[in-house]
Structure 1
Amino acid sequence: MAVAFFHPASPALAQCGKASWYAEQGRTASGERMKPGARTAAHRTLPFGTLVEVRNLRNGRSVVVRINDRGPFIKGRVIDLSRGAANEIGMVSSGTASVRLSVLDGKVGPAAEMCG
Structure 2
Amino acid sequence: MKKVLPLTFLLLVVFVLSSFSAHTVFGGHSTAFVVNRVSDTVSQNLTVYKTDVVATYYHDKFNGRKTSSGERFDNAKYTAAHKSLPFGTQVRVTNLTNGKYVDVTVNDRGPFSKKLEIDLTKKAFMEITGNKNYGTLKVKIEIIE
Q: What is the TM-score with the length of structure 1 in the denominator? A: 0.76
Residue identity matched to 1:15: K
Classify the secondary structure of the residue corresponding to 2:124: helix
1:15 matched residue in structure 2: 50
Q: What are structure 1's unaligned runs of at least 5 residues?
A: 1-11, 106-116
Partners of 2:110 and 2:83 lie apart in 1 by 5
- Between Structure 1 and Structure 2, which shows a larger proportion of helix residues? 2
Partners of 1:38 and 1:104 lie apart in 2 by 18
8 Å contact 1:86–1:92 — kept in the other structure?
no
1:104 aligns to 2:144 (yes or no): yes
Find 1:95's aligned residue among 135, 138, 145: 135
Q: Which has the higher contact order (CA 8 A, sep 6+)?
A: 1
Query: How many percent identity over aligned positions?
Result: 43
8 Å contact 1:19–1:78 — kept in the other structure?
yes
Mapping of residues 1-40 of structure 1, within 5 Å: 12-16=47-51, 17-23=53-59, 24-25=62-63, 26-40=65-79
Alpha-carbon distance, 1:48 to partner: 0.5
Find 2:107's aligned residue among 68, 83, 89: 68
The Cα RMSD (Å) is 1.2
Find 2:124's aligned residue among 56, 62, 85: 85
Q: What are structure 2's unaligned runs of at least 5 residues?
A: 1-46
Q: How many residues align?
A: 94
8 Å contact 1:40–1:68 — kept in the other structure?
yes
Residue identity matched to 2:50: Q
- Between Structure 1 and Structure 2, which shows a larger proportion of strand residues? 1
- Displaced runs of 4 or more, over 2 A: none
2:85 matched residue in structure 1: 46
